[in-house]
Amino acid sequence: MFRYLIRRLLQMIPLLIGVSIIVFLLVHLAPGDPVRMLLGEEATQEDVERLQAVYGFDKPLPVQYFRWLTRALRGDLGMSIRQTMPVSTLIAERLGATLELAVFSVLIANLLGIPVGLFASTRRGSLWDYLTMIVSLVGVSMPSFWLGLVLLSHVALHVSWIPMFGRNASIAGGLFTLLTQFKAGELITALRYILLPATALGISMMAIIARLTRSSMLEVLSKDYIRTAQAKGLKKSAVVVKHALRNALLPVITVVGIQFGSMLGGAVVTETVFAWPGVGRLVINAITQRDFPLVQGGVLMMAVIFTLVNLVVDICYAFVNPRIRYE
Amino acid sequence: MKYLLRSKSALTGLLLIGILIFVAVFADLLAPHDPYEMDIWNSYHAPDGPGGEYILGTDDMGRDVLSRILVGSRISLLIAVTATGVSLLFGVILGAVAGYAGGTLDALIMRIMDLILAFPSILLAIAIVATLGPGVINAMFAVAVVRIPAMTRVTRSMVLGLKEEEFVMAGRALGLTNRRILFRHILLNSFAPILVVASLNMGTAITTEATLSFLGLGAQPPVISWGRMLALGREAIRTAPHLTLYPGLAIVFTVLGFNLLGDGLRDIGDPALRGQK
């Protein structure tokens, strides 16, 4: 296991270097001079050149890349052109919101998806089974941002305690207040704000999990040890939950990991719909404003987190399934 | 083909896709109004329902939503088909070469794919279009790039499995060229799984395109696209919820068709599942 861990960690290095090069090039190959856009049409050539020197845009690309990379490794992602604040500060302020949204979506997806899939698998061929499968197929086919819009116009507008946009408190902060001061108000506020965006983001994952739980359960339920357990005269619920579900959840766990990463991507658009103050919305706004350093920092940050999440998933999976380790 | 007709999900998927293609081709004839015609006095007109003047209502300029959805199917389909075609072409070639050649070339190709997969795909698509500038061609390109790794991986794994098969050995013994063995014999036998991924890719491509146009990075006005319609609908979400509801349903309908077809094809290709529901 230790050797596998080391190998995987070493593989990360070239991958992350590649990611940094792509992010750097993406932004620097973009047409349109950010400095000229910032200063406007009236700016003199001298002004433009002076500001280009301030941001280091006058140096050759490789030089710019290495300067950017060495600074990024120290946590310095440069200054936002539009907001005149360090990019790292802007991202750090919003990272919590994005992670909270992603985690909460995954939570909703699992809390709903696993029981639904389980229920359908134990009633195979019933109307309920068909209904679940149809609903989950539709769920997989729905763009999360559209579901977000529908939730806004058909739920938030009509339910007074559900706010439409933004984020007023963090769940982590709310939990902290609840545990230290025994006051639930902050947590409830945070939950009210996160409910719709997290549902919009989590539904497609829920559908995938429900389908997977069902098919995985159906496979396990046909195994010999299940028949043995039934023959022993165990209660149906004990067979289903203790014997079948435990084994059926293995593939589900893998998919949860893979999906968590895609939640981060989906969050980019969901955040825009719900005006959720996360990194995704920051990046989208930065793109429309052609704020290069901010786009660069944001995309890099998301890609690094995405890669790390995938690494953790792989390691967890190798931990559970020894065959992977020796490949 | 026999199994295809027996698979309910593949058939339903084909039916939905058939309807979509029909709509896209005959949109001009089917549309009850000119999709570009403004009728300011009737802006944000609520849906009249079947038989009414504006069946699905009108938008901020009083343009007929139903007609715009019908015509909008064209750009969605165009971008998705082109992007999937391009990703299919590159993915199959790269995957086949990687799997067949092995060694350094294989490692190189697969590391590049890992690099693409190191980004959440929608974020990469957004970043690519943001770099190249918004527009139909750039959106197609972005959607294609993020879909290539899936195609490459499935082709490579098929080729890896098949290249040790006896018919390949036989071909080699007969003195066939590598290219002929690879493209004539191995790839032809990998057709089914590649088709499954291509079908599922179509669904994702439609969603990605809609996302890009929703963010203003896809097709630009006056081209009508579903994503763009949703973006306009968002601005009037309090007063005219029908503007966000119906274009989205069109997207769901389309993606559902390709997902059903992909699922059905996969079940047909998997003999273990054949005969099961």
Q: What is the dihedral of CA A267, A268, A273, A275, to 10 degrees?
A: 90
Closest CA to A83 of A292, A299, A274, A273: A292
ipTM for the predicted complex: 0.87
Least confident of A140-154, A310-324, B213-227, B263-277: B263-277
Q: Does residue B271 have a pLDDT over 60? A: no
- Yes or no, beta carbons of B210 and A146 under 8 Å apart: yes
The per-residue pLDDT for B92 is: 92
Are A316 and A215 found together in one domain? yes
The per-residue pLDDT for B211 is: 92
B122-169: pLDDT as tens digits: 889 998 998 888 888 999 999 999 999 989 998 998 888 887 777 877
Residue A181 maps to a domain: no
Q: Six-digit token pair at B191?
A: 């057709």
- Yes or no, beta carbons of A149 and B234 under 8 Å apart: yes
Bin A290: left if φ > 0, else alpha if -120 < ψ < 50, else beta.
Answer: left
State how far the Cα of B157 lies from the Cα of B99, in Å rounded to an integer: 7
Q: How large is the average pLDDT for residues A213-238? A: 81
The per-residue pLDDT for B37 is: 76
A135-178: pLDDT as tens digits: 888 888 999 899 999 998 888 788 878 777 777 777 777 777 77
The per-residue pLDDT for B82 is: 93
Q: How large is the average pLDDT for residues A261-283? A: 87
Residue A186 maps to a domain: no
State how far the Cα of B151 lies from the Cα of B113, in Å rounded to an integer: 10
State how far the Cα of A217 lies from the Cα of A182, in Å rounded to an integer: 41
Are A65 and A203 found together in one domain? no
Are A212 and A103 found together in one domain? yes
Are A99 and A209 found together in one domain? yes
Query: Rounded to 5 degrees, what are φ and ψ at A79?
Result: -105, 140
On whether the CB atoms of residues A321 and A258 are closer than 8 A, the answer is no
- Block residue for tokens 């919101």: A97
Nearest CA in chain A to B254: A141
Alpha helix positions (H), chain A = 2-28, 34-39, 45-55, 61-73, 87-122, 127-141, 144-151, 171-181, 185-221, 224-231, 236-238, 246-274, 279-288, 292-320, 322-325
Residue A5 maps to a domain: no
Q: How large is the average pLDDT for residues A107-114? A: 90
Q: Does residue B272 have a pLDDT over 60? A: no
Residue A100 maps to a domain: yes
Query: B108 contacts in A (CB within 8 Å)?
Result: none
Which domain-ending residue is among A29, A46, A73?
A73
Q: Does residue B223 have a pLDDT over 80? A: yes
Instruction: Give the pLDDT band of residue B270 (cuts 50, 70, 90).
Output: low
CATH code, domain carrying A226: 1.10.3720.10
Q: Does residue A12 have a pLDDT over 50? A: yes
Query: B109 contacts in A (CB within 8 Å)?
Result: none
Beta bridge partners of A86: A79
Which domain-ending residue is among A38, A73, A108?
A73
pTM above 0.90, yes or no: no
The number of folded domains in chain A is 2
- The mean predicted confidence, pLDDT, of chain A is 83
Closest CA to A68 of A282, A293, A289, A279: A293
The per-residue pLDDT for B275 is: 45
- The residue among B42 and B194 whose pLDDT is bigger is B194
Query: Rounded to 5 degrees, what are φ and ψ at B56?
Result: -110, 20
Buried b / exposed e along B204-237 (16+ C-beta atoms within 10 A): bbbbbbbbbbbbbbbbeeeebbbbbbbbbbbebb
- The residue among A203 and B32 whose pLDDT is bigger is A203
Q: Does residue A55 have a pLDDT over 80? A: no
Are A222 and A270 found together in one domain? yes
pLDDT over 90 percentage in chain B: 23
Amino acid at B47: P
Residue A311 DSSP SS3: helix
Are A227 and A277 found together in one domain? yes
The alpha-carbon gap from A176 to the nearest alpha carbon of chain B, in Å, equals 31
Are A98 and A132 found together in one domain? yes
On whether the CB atoms of residues A190 and A168 are closer than 8 A, the answer is yes
A201 CB contacts (<8 Å, ≥6 apart)? A101, A102, A105, A144, A148, A263, A266, A267, A270
Residue A130 maps to a domain: yes
* Residue range(s) defining the domain that contains residue A136: 87-148+156-162+195-320
Are A30 and A137 found together in one domain? no
Are A25 and A139 found together in one domain? no
Q: How large is the average pLDDT for residues B226-248? A: 86
Are A293 and A229 found together in one domain? yes
Residue A292 maps to a domain: yes
On whether the CB atoms of residues A34 and A291 are closer than 8 A, the answer is yes
The per-residue pLDDT for B3 is: 62
Q: Does residue A322 have a pLDDT over 70? A: no
- The residue among A195 and A261 whose pLDDT is bigger is A195
- Hey, is the C-beta of A179 within 8 angstroms of any chain B C-beta? no
DSSP-derived letter for residue B220 is P
The alpha-carbon gap from B39 to the nearest alpha carbon of chain A, in Å, equals 24
B79-132: pLDDT as tens digits: 889 999 999 999 999 999 998 888 899 999 999 998 998 888 888 999 899 888
Residue A6 maps to a domain: no
pLDDT over 70 percentage in chain B: 95
Residue A251 maps to a domain: yes
Q: Does residue A216 have a pLDDT over 70? A: yes
Are A235 and A307 found together in one domain? yes
Q: Six-digit token pair at B18?
A: 């058939």
- Hey, is the C-beta of A141 within 8 angstroms of any chain B C-beta? yes
- Yes or no, beta carbons of B245 and A307 under 8 Å apart: no
The per-residue pLDDT for B277 is: 39
Are A25 and A110 found together in one domain? no
The per-residue pLDDT for B149 is: 92
